[in-house]
Amino acid sequence: MFAADDTDYGAGPKMVINRAVLPTAPRASRGANVDMSQVPNEPPFTAYIGNLPFEASAEDVEYFFKGLKVCSRSHIWKTTQ
């Protein structure tokens, strides 16, 4: 007969797996691989933004940065023919 309770018969401690460090985890869940000594901590800062949807407009980008002091900007739009 089997024991009706959940008696542990010396199986040892349960192993906890941190799935964020497994090679199959998405990169975002593993944290940024950034050398923080290379990141500026005083302005001016420069932001390069890419992979925007084709429908994104300059106004969409301006709205995203609304409330921040933007000194200058440059938009480069790739057009397809």
Under a CB-based contact definition with an 8 Å cutoff, are residues 17 and 29 in contact?
no
Under a CB-based contact definition with an 8 Å cutoff, are residues 47 and 72 in contact?
no
Distance between CA atoms of residues 52 and 57, nearest Å:
9
State the chain's mean pLDDT as an integer: 76
* Phi, psi values for residue 63, rounded to 5°: -65, -35
Predicted confidence (pLDDT) per residue in 30-53, tens digit: 667 778 888 888 888 888 888 888
Q: Mean of the pLDDT values across residues 54-60?
A: 87
Closest CA to 47 of 17, 26, 73: 73
